Structure 1
Amino acid sequence: MNIRVAVIFNLLIFSFFSSNAQDKRASAILDAMSKKYKSLQSFSALFTYGADGNSSYKGDITTKSGKYRLKLAGQEVYNDGKTVATYVKETNEVNLSNYEPGEGDFNPAKIYTIYKKGYKYSLAEETKDGNAVIELVPQNKAAKIAKVRITVGKKDSAIKSWQITEKSGNKQSFRIDRFTPNVAVADNFFTFDKSKYPGVEVVDLRD
């Protein structure tokens, strides 16, 4: 996995109103999911991810008040709400950039608000194991993402997995393996500390 995974892993938000009964059911499921996650002060999750059916990898994320720290294969991404630091272990290099959230961003710290703005959604499937699959399609025709499918538990309103399909046809899938609500974590946990990475090369791309 390369830095592009971390970039695409940043979040979307959506607003769509429909008289279609299926969309109303999707809205009820998504609203319950959003309420569940908004009630949490913080959370951490272990997940499995992969692209286009190739090898799968393990990762983890911790988030608090919109900040997040994300670990992927050979990478760590820190977002303290002002700066995004992407550390690549192989090269012992970190890139610093301004955090500039915008429409179409896929921010893993706000996955529970994915449906609020910028996307149309519908209930695509209800599985035998009690989950609902919601499909989101961007309203912006220029978006690189073609669609996102999120699987949500209908009983516990928990996010089980999601799949991102780009217009190029590339697909990335994520499955939640373990979820821990309200973890105790300090704010500086989300800020990159170069003293913990001896010899790291810092590439500062901030304005």
Structure 2
Amino acid sequence: MRNMKYLLLSIVFVLAFAKAGSAQSNSDQKAEELLKKVAQKFKSYDNLYFTYKGNFKNVKNSINTDIQGDATLSGQKYNVNYMGTTFLFDGNRQYVINREDEQVTISKPASEDDGITPSNILSFYEKGYTKKWDILQDVKGRKIQYVKLIPIKSDTDYKNVLLGIDKQSNHIYNVIITEKSGTVVTFTLKSLKVNEPLAKNTFRFDESDYPDFDIEQLD
């Protein structure tokens, strides 16, 4: 579950962006303005579907793990496939569906005080980060502008986050999270579709679909 927060963090950056501060340098203002453009674009969509690839790397601990998955989001509802587990939120309850263990866990979404979760993806980013204009890279002909996000609180697990934005489309290209432990987590969007017709059961859990699963209600 701990690694799940990194995927949720990437989703956060797809959907939610901070308000401008009162005292900023010109470069910080540029970062705010770019984030606002991205925010306006993504918030204009009724729903979105994206596929992603990711990597967890820690040289000291000999960790180098690749992952991939997909996510569908509409408002606060989500259906996320991550490392073989489906995370489903219907607007009221979260369902964690682990097919390998044949187990479903049902719970209320975590409160905003518990950290970054899909339940606060539209609000968490409004506070808690200093935004800095960073490098511009050419990635296969695409101009990717990075904004560095530095947590204001000192008790977070991560040191900083780099958010890569495609300057032509104003879409997220990737998210690079550097942990205080030395672990670097990278998420890159492979494809993105918006305002597609969604199946009625996209965000709905039907217990009859999991007849042999152990279903646990936590609250």
Cα distance change of structure 1 residues 105 and 84 upon mapping to structure 2, 3 Å threshold: same
Looking at structure 1, the residues matched to 197 and 120 of structure 2 have their Cα atoms a distance apart, in angstroms, of 16
Cα distance change of structure 1 residues 114 and 175 upon mapping to structure 2, 3 Å threshold: farther
The one-letter code sitting in structure 1 at the alignment partner of 2:90 is D
Equivalent residue for 1:66, pick from 70, 76, 80: 76
Does 2:156 match 1:143?
yes
Looking at structure 2, the residues matched to 166 and 80 of structure 1 have their Cα atoms a distance apart, in angstroms, of 31
Do 1:152 and 1:158's aligned partners in 2 also have CA atoms closer than 8 Å? yes
My pick for the range that moved more, 150-159 or 185-194, is 185-194
Looking at structure 2, the residues matched to 149 and 136 of structure 1 have their Cα atoms a distance apart, in angstroms, of 6
Shift of 1:42: 0.3
My pick for the range that moved more, 164-173 or 116-125, is 164-173
Do 1:15 and 1:119's aligned partners in 2 also have CA atoms closer than 8 Å? no
Looking at structure 1, the residues matched to 33 and 169 of structure 2 have their Cα atoms a distance apart, in angstroms, of 13
Equivalent residue for 1:107, pick from 98, 108, 118: 118
Does 2:181 match 1:171?
no
Gaps of 5+ in 2: 58-62
Does 2:103 match 1:93?
yes
Cα distance change of structure 1 residues 149 and 187 upon mapping to structure 2, 3 Å threshold: farther
Matches within 5 A, 1:121-160: 121-128=131-138, 129-160=142-173
My pick for the range that moved more, 90-99 or 8-17, is 8-17
Looking at structure 1, the residues matched to 66 and 44 of structure 2 have their Cα atoms a distance apart, in angstroms, of 31
Give 3-state SS (helix, strand or coil) of 1:184's partner. Answer: coil
Cα distance change of structure 1 residues 7 and 19 upon mapping to structure 2, 3 Å threshold: closer
Shift of 1:14: 4.0
Query: Could you tell me which residue of structure 2 aligns to residue 39 of structure 1?
Result: 44
* Percent of pairs with identical residues: 23
Shift of 1:114: 6.6
Shift of 1:193: 2.2
Q: How many residues align?
A: 203
Looking at structure 2, the residues matched to 132 and 120 of structure 1 have their Cα atoms a distance apart, in angstroms, of 17
Equivalent residue for 1:49, pick from 49, 54, 67: 54
Cα distance change of structure 1 residues 122 and 115 upon mapping to structure 2, 3 Å threshold: farther
Looking at structure 2, the residues matched to 202 and 99 of structure 1 have their Cα atoms a distance apart, in angstroms, of 17
Looking at structure 2, the residues matched to 78 and 196 of structure 1 have their Cα atoms a distance apart, in angstroms, of 14
Does 2:17 match 1:4?
no
Matches within 5 A, 1:9-28: 9-11=7-9, 14-15=18-19, 17=21, 18-28=23-33
The one-letter code sitting in structure 1 at the alignment partner of 2:43 is K
Gaps of 5+ in 1: none
